[in-house]
Chain A
Amino acid sequence: MDYSIATMALEIHSVQLPRVRQLLDCHFPFDGRTETASGRYEKLRNRIYAELPMLHFFGIMIFEDQHYDPLLAIQINVDGDIGPFWTAIEASFGDELRALIRCSKRPRNREAPLFDTIVADGSTTPLAPYLSMKTRRPVTDYRGARRFSRDRIVSESLLYERVQKELGNGIRWKGQSARAINQTLREKFRAEIKTLSRDPHPWKASFVDWAKLALLVLALLATITITLGATTAILSLILGPGLITSCIIFAIVTVSFLWRKLVKDGRPVPQPRLRSILLFASIGVSVIGAWSWLGTEILVIIYQKLLALKSYACIFVTNDMIAGYLSCLEAAKEIRAVAFPHILNAFLGGLLTLAILVIWLRRLESTDATHDGVKLPNRMMKGMRSYEDWGMQNQMCSLLTVKPGILRTIILRVSHLLLSRLARTLYTNGVLGSMRTIHFAHWAVLNRDGRLIFFSNFDGSWESYLNDFTEKASFGVNLAWSQCLGFPPNMYVILGGSALGRQFKAWARHSMTQSCFWYSAYPHLSVEMIHRNARVAAGLASLHLEDADAWARDL
């Protein structure tokens, strides 16, 4: 495990909320200034930096909600596994954490006995097991600088600074070649370079990651076609394939003609362009065609193998190998003729069911209440703003309720499965749709798909981050958030929604809360800088520098 991202959530007794706030103010003072920190926060920062060397980002938030008790959420982004982190933080901040747990609500499930021993008077029971129990793994996580441990980031940044100092204003290097400069610096910083922890292979989507994505897509298709098409397949077996095929085709044609009436589109959302409709349709047809063909062939192969086994058995009895092989071919043809119509029916049935599901979804989407003109109390807005934009990095934390209904839960889960796989294959190397500003981000579900929590640590202002969402990553953001209450009007899950910049910003702001405490191990570094520092360090460390000019441009 290179790194772990997680959320620990504790429900707080409403009456204890002031006490929790007081505890946090007292033990985790924070005023937003991560970079230019001074006083108590600076002291605490240094302490965390020294005592928790695996920690990248850490945040404590309290979400207040009209429908639920307050929620204390802690976001953790660490090197390695979460378990050792809880042990380490318990060693440093055990008393504070115990006090916080004492203010939280007693769980009503198997966690209760452990809770009781922890909160007992004078208890010294270790907290780590309970905290681990309360930790939620993300459904989707994303990291802009993968495989970079905190120490690597910091030491490379220090090396970069020393190199900068050595280079001065750059005048005295004029006329030298980039390679010569590289040589000089290499000599100069020989000692530092040796101590760098190096990872020779930058993170790339491995075969396994791609295979997992492919498997997920296949599994989704299989679920839709086989489980949803099973009824039609059975009907087709009983009533004969011809009748069922014509019935389904008639139904599909009817549905597609009545589409506009059935989906009841009452909202001005951007319509998909013909080009993208055709694209999706062609992908769908080819995938279903291929899947259908594959299904038949698999069946044929299974049957052939069975026959082959049988004919091998026959060899010893009749010695008629050729006859056995011929009968095998004949049988395959027969199978194709018999099975294909049923399999096709299953897929067509799947398609029809999918269309009906989409119509169902569309009808839900078109009647969903959306939160278009979100207005926050001035105090809340000012509170949030006053903690933002003090340095290069910012954080965002939001908690949302998922829309009710089985279809929404399924879509939420499936979208996040897909998104988390995409984050590991297509969006590698930290570039998410040409944006590279995210250090760590994750979504996690709470209360068994009831609520969705989002934490992000990013570079630049909140405004520009959300603009990036709208301009460059609206597809992914819609997948992640579209099933939450009040989301801007969207269509077929992926269209509209976060592409409506102004509404989306207002909605996202509404779901956020002011952070009580936030820690960044390297507040003065952006994701791009981390990558650049790594390139500079790698250029100094590697013996064969391929493109010295490119290396020198990073200086």
Chain B
Amino acid sequence: MGFARAAHGWWIRENKREDIQAFVGKSFKALDHAVALCLNIESCQGKQWLEALSGLADVTSGTVAAEAQRATALALTYQGLILSGLDEKDAAQFSLPFREGMTEGNRARRLHDVKAERGDGHRHGWKWSGCRKTAEHEVHALLLLYASDYDDLCMWQSQVEAALSKRGCRVEICVNLTMMKTAEGGMKEHFGFADGISQPLPLDDYWDENDTRADAYQKQGTTYVEPAFTINEELHLSLSERSYNGIPTGDVLFGRPDSFRELPPSPFLSVDEDTAANLLAHGNAPPGFRDFGFDGSYLVVRQLRQDVAGFWADVWKNAEMLGISADEMAARMMGRTPSGELLRPVVDQQTLADVAQSKAIWQLAKQAGNAILPTQATTSEEHGFALADPYGFGCPLGSHVRRANPRDGGAKNAREIPKRLDSVNNHRILRRGRPYGPEVSGPLDGSDSEERGLLFMCLNTDIARQFEFIQETWLLSRQFQQLGETDPILGPNGRYTMQDRPIRRNVDVQTFVHPIGGEYFFLPGMKAIEYLKARQKEES
């Protein structure tokens, strides 16, 4: 658990953080209160709307002091970047998913946001997106305000809104983010489960062509120490060579090589055409050009409405049918206990004896601590499924956490484990989401009219390979693990199988999580924001 928390801290050296938004490295856990303002800036032309934030809500840079009481993050859609001063031909250098947006017809179908409909139809019930054709409100920018004090946040928010409206900027949607904590102090979502636990760990610094991931990691000299992962030296040395959740920094931050050792396409601006471009970093741009995307990242935002009463009623019904407690039923769907421990199989004496004979599994079991004991759960984020839970008797193969991050689960033998892990880690995302709406208090009587849910936010640099891949190939694919079903939490109504002995049990689950808004944003680096401000000044 200590390790998992460390992953929320910074992984970029202090002297290189200055131009990166603090949001990239921190989830501002100390700042309990937050609000997400979805802005429409189409009537801001010539009014320098970004200046409205100056002095009032300056975007927080990575060098911010740990005890700061307020923090701000800013992200813009493709249209938002163009409206804010980025030239259209430069913006066209961004990757296709970002340019098209989350609600483009075929994409929305692949993300299961529309059901088998062709064309850019109106998303049923979508409140906002980057395109008016697909939702009620068109949003161009996302402004996130975090504060430690609620009253302070309210006051600050009204000041910011007033300043923005002066410059023609409309607040289309305002999402009040809450912070709910588990008994252990971790973050919790409305269904009552710990959230944001399994995070990838970006390995610091620029990728050197000759470095392995492990080398790059050792060079950094950060303050926290990664626990050694040595299960079975002779079988899979490569696991100990690298970090279990390690990903190249380029997977969450522009300008560095990513998992495929490539650079995410980023707009290169010519200094000859545009003097303001001098404000930008050189980054990876050729001489005479500047790198607009450098130190930025794509921010995927989805507003997911949760029907808590409905969910638990459904869980109760299914639990009763199977003769188990509702908590266990829900945990089996999630793959974790509410406090965030990963489910593990209960092991009988015979298996224990078998395992004792096999060195590899025995050592892993020891590493995992309680994996073999019938406590059924583990807190470590450092080991996979292939050896400890290959058949899903503990954490079901189709459970939410196992779909969202299959780790080494698909490995068919011990030699395949490191390969599997490598390939799975090519698709990780850095999550930054928070719940919104009031916390559920007291028993629900089945009618939950309150608007609440999760504002899912994640950072990645290749939307197609990371966010969309997870959504499409892992969470919502019926081909996943040959189950023929989809995610029990996010997927459409359908069957949900829990592996068991002698045979599996299954139930019919319904969906109580509905997306009601979302878009792909770009979270620019500090220099890119300065550049946009300069461009707006020129224009006016």
Contacts and interface: CB of A to CB of B under 8 A. Distances in A.
Interface of A: 33, 36, 167, 169-171, 173-174, 176-178, 181, 270-271, 373, 381-382, 385-386, 388-390, 392, 434, 437, 459-461, 463-464, 467, 470-472, 499-503, 524, 526, 528-529, 532, 549, 552-553, 555
Interface stretch (B181-189, B292-300, B433-441, B473-481): B473-481
Nearest to B419: A434
A549 B116 CA distance: 39
Contacts of A459: 479
A549 B506 contact: no
Given A171-B323, A553-B391, A392 B416 contact: no
Most buried by B among A170, A392, A434, A437: A170
A400 B105 CA distance: 29
B503 interface: yes
A552 B503 contact: yes
Contact of B503 (A178, A472, A500): A178
Nearest to B480: A460
Interface string B109-153: 110000010100000000000000000000000000000000000
Contacts of A178: 501-503
Given A170-B504, A434-B419, A528-B482, A463 B468 contact: yes
A417 B472 CA distance: 35
A460 B322 contact: no
A461 B110 contact: yes
Nearest to A548: B502
Among A169, A171, A385, A526, chain B packs the most CB atoms within 10 A around the CB of: A169
Interface of B: 96, 105-107, 109-110, 116, 118, 209, 259-262, 264-265, 321-323, 391, 410, 412, 416, 419-420, 422-423, 426-427, 462, 464-465, 468-469, 472-473, 477-479, 482, 484, 499-507
Contacts of B106: 382, 385-386, 388-389
B110 A389 contact: yes
Nearest to A376: B96
A173 B503 contact: yes
Given A460-B473, A463-B468, A553 B499 contact: yes
B482 A461 contact: no
B505 A552 contact: no
A169 B506 contact: yes
B477 to A, nearest CB: 6
Query: Lowest 5 A-B CB distances belong to which pairs?
Result: A501-B260, A170-B505, A385-B106, A464-B473, A528-B482
A173 B265 CA distance: 55
A181 B502 contact: yes
Contacts of A471: 422-423, 426
A386 B504 contact: no
A505 B472 CA distance: 17
Nearest to A36: B116
A488 to B, nearest CB: 10
Contacts of A467: 426-427, 465, 469
Given A434-B420, A501-B260, A390 B116 contact: yes
Interface centre among B118, B259, B478 (most CB of A within 10 A): B478
Contacts of A176: 502
A177 B502 contact: yes
A441 to B, nearest CB: 17
B416 A434 contact: yes
B140 to A, nearest CB: 22
Contacts of B322: 169, 171
Nearest to A533: B482
B321 A171 contact: yes
Contacts of A529: 479, 482, 484
A392 B462 contact: no
A169 B329 CA distance: 14
Given A463-B468, A471-B426, 19 more contacts: A169-B321, A169-B322, A169-B505, A170-B500, A171-B321, A171-B322, A171-B505, A178-B501, A178-B502, A389-B109, A389-B472, A434-B410, A437-B479, A471-B423, A499-B261, A501-B260, A501-B262, A503-B262, A529-B479
13 contacts: A169-B321, A178-B501, A388-B106, A434-B416, A434-B419, A471-B423, A472-B419, A501-B262, A502-B260, A503-B262, A528-B482, A555-B503, A555-B504
B148 to A, nearest CB: 41
A472 B412 CA distance: 15
Contact of A526 (B264, B416, B479): B479
Nearest to A178: B502
A502 B265 CA distance: 9
Contact of B482 (A177, A463, A526): A526
Given A33-B116, A385-B106, A463-B464, A392 B503 contact: no
A271 B261 CA distance: 12
A174 B420 CA distance: 34
A174 B391 CA distance: 18
Contacts of B116: 33, 36, 390
Contacts of A173: 502-503
Contacts of A524: 484
A392 B484 CA distance: 9
Nearest to B390: A553
Contacts of B503: 167, 170, 173, 178, 181, 552, 555
B109 A470 contact: no
Nearest to A496: B261
A555 B107 CA distance: 34
Nearest to A553: B391
B152 to A, nearest CB: 44
Contact of B502 (A386, A392, A549): A549
B528 to A, nearest CB: 22
A533 to B, nearest CB: 9
A526 to B, nearest CB: 4
Given A463-B469, A472-B423, A552 B479 contact: no
Contacts of A381: 96
Nearest to B423: A471
A464 B323 contact: no
A422 to B, nearest CB: 18
Nearest to B318: A169
Nearest to A176: B502
Given A463-B464, A464-B473, A392 B478 contact: yes
A526 B479 CA distance: 6
A471 B416 CA distance: 13
Nearest to B483: A529
A270 B261 contact: yes
B478 to A, nearest CB: 6
